[in-house]
Amino acid sequence: MIILHPMNELHNTRSIALSILADILIKNHSRDESLKRYLSTEKHLSEQDRAFIFNIVMNTLRYKEVFDEITEKILNRPIQHINKDILLAIDIALAQTLTLDNIPLYASVFETIEGYKESKNRNSRSIGFLNYALRRITQNSSIDELFAQYQNQNRLIQKLQNHLCDELSEKEIIGIYKTSFQRPRTAIRINNKVIDTNDALKELHNNGISARSSEIVANAIILETDTPFARLYEILPAEGFTFQSELSQLAAYLLSLKKGYSLLDVCSGNQIKVGQIKELFPEDLEITSIDIKKNHRPIGRYIQADARNIRLDMQFDRILLDAPCSGLGTLAYNPEIKFRINRESIIRHSKIQYQILSNIGKYTKQGGRLLYSVCTITGSETEKNIMKFLEENREFEIINPVMNSSILRQYLTQEGFLRIFDYNNNSFFYALLERR
Ligand SMILES: C[S@@+](CC[C@H](N)C(=O)[O-])C[C@H]1O[C@@H](n2cnc3c(N)ncnc32)[C@H](O)[C@@H]1O
pLDDT tens figures, 106-139? 888 999 999 899 887 788 899 999 999 999 999 9
pLDDT of residue 2: 39
Among 6-15, 44-53, 125-134, top mean pLDDT goes to 125-134
pLDDT of residue 352: 98
pLDDT of residue 1: 41
C-beta of 293 in contact with ligand 1 (< 6 A): yes
Atom of ligand 1 nearest to the CA of 273: 8
C-beta of 324 in contact with ligand 1 (< 6 A): yes
Instruction: Identify the residue whose C-alpha is closest to ligand 1 atom 3.
Output: 269
Alpha carbon of 325 to ligand 1 centroid (Å): 9
Instruction: Identify the residue whose C-alpha is closest to ligand 1 atom 12.
Output: 267
C-beta of 195 in contact with ligand 1 (< 6 A): no
Question: Residue 190 pairs with which residues in a beta bridge?
Answer: 241
Alpha carbon of 147 to ligand 1 centroid (Å): 37
Q: What integer is the mean pLDDT of 245-253?
A: 96
- Return the percentage of the chain with pLDDT > 90, whole number: 84
pLDDT tens figures, 57-69? 999 999 999 999 9
pLDDT tens figures, 257-294? 999 999 999 999 999 999 999 999 877 899 999 999 99
Instruction: Identify the residue whose C-alpha is closest to ligand 1 atom 11.
Output: 267
Q: What integer is the mean pLDDT of 416-427?
A: 97
Given a cut of 50, whether residue 3 has pLDDT beyond it is no
- Contacts of residue 24, defined as CB under 8 A and 6 or more positions apart, other chains included, come to 30, 31, 34, 57, 61, 336
Alpha carbon of 302 to ligand 1 centroid (Å): 13
- Contacts of residue 93, defined as CB under 8 A and 6 or more positions apart, other chains included, come to 108, 109, 112, 134, 137, 138
pLDDT tens figures, 67-111? 999 999 999 999 999 999 999 999 999 999 999 987 888 888 999
- Contacts of residue 335, defined as CB under 8 A and 6 or more positions apart, other chains included, come to 58, 61, 62, 180, 181
C-beta of 268 in contact with ligand 1 (< 6 A): yes
Dihedral angle at the C-alpha atoms of 174, 401, 433, 324, nearest 10 degrees? 40
Given a cut of 70, whether residue 9 has pLDDT beyond it is no
DSSP result, 272-310: HHHHHHHHHSTTT-EEEEEESS--SS-SSEEEES-TTT-
C-beta of 24 in contact with ligand 1 (< 6 A): no
pLDDT tens figures, 339-384? 999 999 999 999 999 999 999 999 999 999 999 999 999 999 999 9
**Please, what are the domains in the chain?**
6-153 (1.10.940.10), 187-243 (3.30.70), 246-435 (3.40.50.150)
Atom of ligand 1 nearest to the CA of 320: 6
Instruction: Identify the residue whose C-alpha is closest to ligand 1 atom 4.
Output: 269
Burial of 193 (0-12, 13-18, 19+ CB in 10 A): exposed
Q: What integer is the mean pLDDT of 401-408?
A: 91
Q: What integer is the mean pLDDT of 189-208?
A: 96
CA angle, corner 338, sides to 334 and 340, nearest 5?
Answer: 100
C-beta of 252 in contact with ligand 1 (< 6 A): no
pLDDT of residue 408: 96
C-beta of 381 in contact with ligand 1 (< 6 A): no
- Please check whether residue 420 is in contact with residue 429, taking contact to mean a CB–CB distance below 8 angstroms: yes
pLDDT of residue 48: 86
C-beta of 291 in contact with ligand 1 (< 6 A): yes
Atom of ligand 1 nearest to the CA of 308: 19
Computed over every residue of the chain, the mean pLDDT equals: 93
10 — pLDDT class (breaks 50, 70, 90): low
Alpha carbon of 290 to ligand 1 centroid (Å): 8
